């Protein structure tokens, strides 16, 4: 791929298939619109897949992990060692996303993009882009090369998913401090102050949230003058996993695979992806509304309608995994229901 592969054209939804899917919805044995969002989900998937019989499987889950230098500023309720420790938990099957992936019958690919521990673990794909990012209150989070490689890591994950015949991709994330990075990046992309978007992350109290906002504002004062381009904003304020997620969403749109976006961190990565290449927006489905305060603003900026609102804020791709059955049922209803003519049921008079 070229150095700026993410600017290449995204695939376009099939307008003829979309119209045929809409027409089918009008003839199914139900009042029009009575299945609400499930109807539009099926139509959108049909158009994206160019297939009158859309499917939300096979499913693929890639979990991107990375550490963040800004943790040394005291922005997390958990120690940084948890990132590496959770990698072991993921591959041993003990994490929430591990349980959900098993229930869904989906592969769970775990990638260590760059953690402080840097330990080689069986079952973890290790890229070693660095021992976490730099502390962005003092310097850019990533070098240009690290940023490019992290974006590429997301695209490479999608390439593996495509070989496996995947029709629905989920990106998860793990990284102590990554709500701080996501908030800082969202502040630049939305031109908002930290106080409007910051949240408790792993469980900070009110004083901890206020401190986190102050740390983010220090970083913004240093980097905002240099963030005219979204890629530079990512390099300066993002993280390895945020870059990989954005790269994955862009590659999904270019390769023709629908992506189900998880919570706050993943949605910020999706916002970045849309800023890098607006054509990817049609390929994104949004799983849930996170309890993180800043998530609502990011969803609004993307004109996104989440499928679930369960007060989740775990990350890992867990909210997206919980939403998969809704997409699967939307497809099953679209394909499996009888039309009025097939069922010999009287239609509503014109």
Burial, 340: exposed, middle or buried (Cβ in 10 Å; 0-12, 13-18, 19+)? middle
Residue 347's pLDDT is what?
86
pLDDT mean over 303-327: 97
Residue 59's beta-bridge partner residues? 168
Give the residue numbers spanning the domain of 33.
5-53+334-343
CA distances (Å), origin 137, targets 10, 181, 200 = 35, 11, 19
47 shares its domain with 156:
no
| Same domain as 12, residue 138 | no
For 101, the 3-state DSSP assignment is: helix
pLDDT at 303: 97
Q: Per the domain annotation, does 348 fall within a domain?
A: no
CB 169 within 8 Å of CB 257: yes
The whole-angstrom separation of Cα 265 and Cα 211 is: 20
Q: What is the pLDDT of residue 3?
A: 60
DSSP single-letter state for residue 204: -
Question: Looking at the structure, do residues 91 and 124 belong to the same domain, yes or no?
Answer: yes
Smallest CA-to-CA distance from 267 within 171, 153, 133, 167 is with 171
Note whether residue 266 is domain-resident.
yes
Query: For 20-73, what is each residue's pLDDT tens digit?
Result: 999 999 999 999 999 999 999 999 999 999 999 999 999 999 999 999 999 999
Residue 17 lies in a domain: yes
Contact 263, 319 (CB under 8 A): yes
Within-domain flag for 350: no
How many domains, in total, are found in the chain? Answer: 2
Q: Are strands 168-174 and 59-66 parallel, antiparallel or unpaired?
A: parallel
Neighbours of 297 (CB within 10 A): 17
Tell me the longest C-alpha to C-alpha distance in the chain. Answer: 71
| Token pair of 66 as six digits | 């990375």
**Beta-carbon contacts of residue 15 (< 8 Å; ≥ 6 apart):** 47
Tens of pLDDT along 224-252? 999 999 999 999 999 999 999 999 999 99
Same structural domain, 223 and 298: yes
Indicate whether 192 and 338 sit together in one domain.
no
Within a domain: residue 16? yes
Question: Catalytic residue numbers?
Answer: 316
Q: Which of 44, 100, 76 is nearest to 319 (CA)?
A: 100
Is residue 180 in some structural domain?
yes
Q: How far is CA 311 from CA 104, 119, 123, 172, 197, in A?
A: 22, 33, 31, 18, 17
User: Buried (b) or exposed (e) across 57-87, using 16+ Cβ within 10 A?
Assistant: bebbbbbbbbbbbbbebebbeeebebbbebb
Residue 85 has pLDDT above 70, yes or no: yes
Residue 349 lies in a domain: no
């Amino acid at each position: 791929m070229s150095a700026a592969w993410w600017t290449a054209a995204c695939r376009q939804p099939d307008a003829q298939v979309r119209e045929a899917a809409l027409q089918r919805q009008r003839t199914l044995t139900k009042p029009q619109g009575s299945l609400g969002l499930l109807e539009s989900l099926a139509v959108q998937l049909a158009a994206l897949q160019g297939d009158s019989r859309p499917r939300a499987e096979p499913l693929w889950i890639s979990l991107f992990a990375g550490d963040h230098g800004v943790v040394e500023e005291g922005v997390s309720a958990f120690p940084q060692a948890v990132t590496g420790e959770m990698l072991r938990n993921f591959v041993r099957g003990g994490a929430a996303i591990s349980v959900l992936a098993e229930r869904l019958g989906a592969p769970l690919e775990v990638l260590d993009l760059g953690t402080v521990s840097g330990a080689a673990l069986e079952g973890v794909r290790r890229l070693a882009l660095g021992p976490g990012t730099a502390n962005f209150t003092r310097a850019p989070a990533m070098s240009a090369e690290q940023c490019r490689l992290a974006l590429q890591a997301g695209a490479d994950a999608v390439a593996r998913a495509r070989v496996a015949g995947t029709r629905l991709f989920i990106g998860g994330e793990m990284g102590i401090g990554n709500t701080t990075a996501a908030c800082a990046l969202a502040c630049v992309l939305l031109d908002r102050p930290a106080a409007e978007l910051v949240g408790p992350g792993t469980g900070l109290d009110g004083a901890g949230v206020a401190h986190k906002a102050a740390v983010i504002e220090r970083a913004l004062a240093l980097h905002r003058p240099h963030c005219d381009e979204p890629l530079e904003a990512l390099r300066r304020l993002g993280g390895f996993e945020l870059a990989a997620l954005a790269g994955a969403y862009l590659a999904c749109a270019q390769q023709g695979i629908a992506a189900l976006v998880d919570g706050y961190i993943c949605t910020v990565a999706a916002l970045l992806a849309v800023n890098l290449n607006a054509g990817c927006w049609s390929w994104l489905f949004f799983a849930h509304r996170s309890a993180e305060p800043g998530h609502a603003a990011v969803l609004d900026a993307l004109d996104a309608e989440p499928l679930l609102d369960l007060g989740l804020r775990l990350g890992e791709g867990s909210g997206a995994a919980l939403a998969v059955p809704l997409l699967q049922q939307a497809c099953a209803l679209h394909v499996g229901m009888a039309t009025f003519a097939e069922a010999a049921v009287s239609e509503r008079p014109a």
